[in-house]
Amino acid sequence: MKKAILAAVIFIAMGLTATAQSKNETSKVSHLTYKEFLQKVWDFEKDSQTFVYKGKLPAIIDFYADWCGPCRKTAPVLEKLANEYDGKLLVYKINVDQERDLASVFRVSSIPALLFIPMKGQPMMQVGAMTEAQFKDVIAKHLVK
């Protein structure tokens, strides 16, 4: 009996792991570490006074935490937008619990905090959850024209 229960638990866990892996493989949203941020977005260690975007497409960066309710509501909206604007817009996520130093660079004290980065000009920060319509409005006005 114990062997059957253990086998069932292992089988279920393997299925959940495979599902999580397949979701990550198809996701257009990328998670950034401190080092990746410096390489892909802005190397503020070289020049902290002038924002110089390194990306080839406009971007949205979501500063979030797994325990944050509004962050969890924002996540599927960002996934949908990343798919809809694939090839026109990059969507990144930064976990503030894992990347505290990076969050402090942008003075993130409330989440979700969303950084909108146009190809030209300065990035814009928005604090709080946004609806899909609000995201699309910002994208149309400032990122993808």
Residues marked as catalytic: 68, 71
Residues 6+ apart with CB under 8 A from 38: 44, 45
CA separation, residue 30 to residues 3, 24, 47, 89, 101 (Å): 39, 9, 24, 12, 19
Using alpha carbons, select from 38, 132, 131 the residue that is nearest to residue 84.
132
CB of 74 closer than 8 Å to CB of 64 = yes
- DSSP 8-state class, residue 92: E
Torsion of CA 100, 102, 105, 107, to 10 degrees: -50
CB of 76 closer than 8 Å to CB of 92 = no
